[in-house]
Amino acid sequence: MKLTVKLARITNNRFKAWCPALPGCVVFGQSEDEAKNKIRQAIDGYLASLDTVLPTELAKKLSSPDYTRGVA
């Protein structure tokens, strides 16, 4: 899976990195490299949390009587 990551310098010694496809997945670093490393870790953690939460939520939606042709 490929995800877009955005990186911006917000001050001389502060960088912000975020993944627009993953709401709330935002990190800050003192250098560009630090921000890149942190966003990789944040994305890994975000996706790992989906592995534990999403199947349960998806199962609930699929068993819901309101679920019709893939639209809940």
Q: Is 58 exposed, middle or buried (0-12, 13-18, 19+ CB in 10 A)?
A: exposed
Q: pLDDT-derived band of residue 57, with 50, 70 and 90 as boundaries?
A: low
Average pLDDT, whole number, for the chain?
81
In this structure, the dihedral spanned by the alpha carbons of residues 23, 29, 32 and 34, taken in order and rounded to 10 degrees, is -100
Task: Please check the confidence at residue 69 and state whether its pLDDT lies above 60.
Answer: no
Q: Identify the three-state secondary structure at position 33.
A: helix
pLDDT at 53: 62
- Residue 13 pLDDT greater than 70, yes or no: yes
- pLDDT class of 51 with cuts at 50, 70, 90: low
Does residue 25 contact residue 38 with C-beta atoms inside 8 Å?
no
pLDDT of residue 66: 54
